[in-house]
Structure 1
Amino acid sequence: MDFRPQRTRSVGNEMNESPSTVEHAGEIAKLVEAMSQPGGVSLSFEGHDMPPFSILLVDVIEDRQLVLDITSTPEIAAALTEERPFRLTGQAHGAMVTTHPLTALPLKDTPGRLRFSCAYPERLDVWHRRNAFRAELGPGMSVAVELEIETGREAVHGELVNLSLGGCLVQLPLNKAAALKSGQPLSRLEAVFPSGQCLTAQGVVRHVRIDDKWQRALVGCEFSTLSPKLERWVWYLVKEIEREAIRKAAQGEKPLDPSSLFQASPTAAREPPGRRLRADYATPMARRLAKVADFLNAQMLQLQQGAVVDSTLLSRYSDMLLGLLEEDREALVFASVCLHHEPPLVQHGLAVAIRLADLARARKAPRELLKAIVATAMVHDLGKSLLDESLRESPAFDAAQREQLSEHVVLLRDRLEGCRWLAPQVIRSLVSEVNERLDGSGYPNGLQGTDLSELSRMATVVDVVDAMTRHRPDRAAWSLEVAYRHLLGQPGMFDREWVQRYIRHFGRYPIGSLVHFSSGAQGWIQRLDSKGQPRQVAVISPTRQLRLEGEVASLGVVEEILRAPSPELLPRQ
Structure 2
Amino acid sequence: MLTKGSSGNHLAGVLRSLVSKEHTVTIFSKKTTRPLQADITNLDLETGAFDLIVNYEKSDIDSYFHQGNLSFDIEVPPASDEETSEIYNFEKIKAKPLKKESGVYEIKCQITDELFAREARGAVRIPFILGMRAQANLEVYTNELLIKGRVRNLSTGGCMVDIALEDSLPLYVTQRLPSVTIEFPNGDYFHSPGGIRHMRPFGNEGHAAVGIEFVDVNHDMENALYRLVSESERESAYRAGIEGRGVSQSPVFIPRKKESGILKHDAHKSTEPANAPPMVKGVRSIARQLQAVLIFIKNWSTFPEETLYDCTDSLIYLVKQDRKALLYALSYLQDQPEWVRHAIQVAGSLADMIVLRDPYSPHLRETVAGTLMHTMGKPLLMSEKLPSLKANMTPPQKEILLGHVDKLLEKITALGWYPSKGCLDIIRDANELLDGSGYPAGKTADELSSLVKRVSVIKAVNKYTHGRNGVPPRTPLDAYRWVHENDALFDRTILIEYIQQYGLYPIGSLAKFSRGFLAWIMDIDNKGIPTQVHVVKNLTFIDTRIDIVLSSTDFMQIGRLVGIVSPNDYRVEHKH
Q: Which of 306, 320, 330 is the aligned partner of 1:326?
A: 320
* Residue 43 (structure 2) aligns with: none
Q: Report the identity percentage.
A: 25
* Residue 135 (structure 1) aligns with: 125
Residues 1:311 and 1:529: Cα distance change in structure 2 (over 3 Å): same
Q: Which of 508, 511, 526 is the aligned partner of 1:512?
A: 508
**Contact conserved, 2:272 with 2:280, CA < 8 A, in 1?**
no
Q: Which of 482, 487, 492 is the aligned partner of 1:491?
A: 487
Q: Distance in 2 between matches of 1:482 and 1:434?
A: 22
* Residue 126 (structure 1) aligns with: none
1:100-135 per-residue CA deviation (whole Å, 9 max, x = no partner) reads: xxxxxxxxxxxxxxxxxxxxxxxxxxxxx9997242
Q: Distance in 1 between matches of 2:333 and 2:131?
A: 29
Q: Which of 513, 519, 523 is the aligned partner of 1:527?
A: 523
Larger Rg: 1
* Residue 249 (structure 2) aligns with: 260
* Residue 200 (structure 2) aligns with: 211
* Residue 554 (structure 2) aligns with: 551
**Contact conserved, 1:526 with 1:538, CA < 8 A, in 2?**
no
1:256 deviates by 6.6
* Residue 283 (structure 1) aligns with: 276
Q: Distance in 2 between matches of 1:228 and 1:409?
A: 43
1:172 deviates by 2.9
1:359 aligns with 2:361: no
Q: Which of 562, 566, 569 is the aligned partner of 2:565?
A: 562
Q: What residue identity is the alignment partner of 1:211?
A: R
1:228-287 per-residue CA deviation (whole Å, 9 max, x = no partner) reads: 77654532331244456667899xx97677541499979999798436322569724434
Please report the TM-score for the alignment, with normalisation by the length of structure 1.
0.64
**Contact conserved, 2:436 with 2:444, CA < 8 A, in 1?**
yes
* Residue 473 (structure 1) aligns with: 469
1:397 deviates by 5.3
1:562 deviates by 1.9
Please report the TM-score for the alignment, with normalisation by the length of structure 2.
0.64
Matches within 5 A, 1:20-59: none
Residues 1:172 and 1:198: Cα distance change in structure 2 (over 3 Å): same
Q: Distance in 1 between matches of 2:193 and 2:404?
A: 28
**Contact conserved, 2:454 with 2:494, CA < 8 A, in 1?**
yes
1:456 aligns with 2:452: yes
Matches within 5 A, 1:145-156: 145-147=135-137, 149=139, 156=147
Residues 1:525 and 1:416: Cα distance change in structure 2 (over 3 Å): farther
* Residue 45 (structure 1) aligns with: none
* Residue 80 (structure 1) aligns with: none
Q: Which of 170, 175, 183 is the aligned partner of 2:176?
A: 183
1:522 deviates by 2.0
Q: What residue identity is the alignment partner of 1:183?
A: R
Q: Distance in 2 between matches of 1:565 and 1:366?
A: 39
Residues 1:211 and 1:520: Cα distance change in structure 2 (over 3 Å): closer
* Residue 298 (structure 2) aligns with: 304
Residues 1:552 and 1:226: Cα distance change in structure 2 (over 3 Å): farther
Q: What residue identity is the alignment partner of 1:570?
A: E
Q: Distance in 2 between matches of 1:152 and 1:282?
A: 42
1:498 deviates by 0.8
1:9-44 per-residue CA deviation (whole Å, 9 max, x = no partner) reads: xx99xxxxxxxxxxxxxxxxxxxxxxxxxxxxxxxx
More deviation in 306-315 or 559-568? 559-568
C-alpha RMSD of the superposition:
4.3
**Contact conserved, 1:130 with 1:164, CA < 8 A, in 2?**
no
Q: Distance in 1 between matches of 2:416 and 2:567?
A: 36
1:536 aligns with 2:533: yes
More deviation in 211-220 or 162-171? 211-220
* Residue 89 (structure 1) aligns with: none
1:72-92 per-residue CA deviation (whole Å, 9 max, x = no partner) reads: xxxxxxxxxxxxxxxxxxxxx
1:180-228 per-residue CA deviation (whole Å, 9 max, x = no partner) reads: 4633445x73455xxx545534444522743388965332445688787
Q: Which of 365, 373, 393 is the aligned partner of 2:367?
A: 373
1:500-540 per-residue CA deviation (whole Å, 9 max, x = no partner) reads: 11122122111222222122222222322333222123331
**Contact conserved, 1:513 with 1:565, CA < 8 A, in 2?**
no
1:293 deviates by 1.5
**Contact conserved, 1:144 with 1:157, CA < 8 A, in 2?**
no
Q: Tell me the matched-pair count.
A: 438
Q: Distance in 1 between matches of 2:414 and 2:456?
A: 22
Residues 1:492 and 1:208: Cα distance change in structure 2 (over 3 Å): farther
Q: What residue identity is the alignment partner of 1:492?
A: A
1:382 deviates by 0.3
1:456-481 per-residue CA deviation (whole Å, 9 max, x = no partner) reads: 11111111222233344374544433
1:274 aligns with 2:257: no
1:148 deviates by 5.8
Residues 1:565 and 1:296: Cα distance change in structure 2 (over 3 Å): farther
Residues 1:468 and 1:423: Cα distance change in structure 2 (over 3 Å): same
Q: Which runs of 5+ in 1 are unaligned?
A: 1-10, 13-128
1:164 aligns with 2:158: no
1:440 aligns with 2:436: yes
1:448 deviates by 1.7
1:154 deviates by 9.9
**Contact conserved, 1:158 with 1:171, CA < 8 A, in 2?**
yes
**Contact conserved, 1:174 with 1:298, CA < 8 A, in 2?**
no
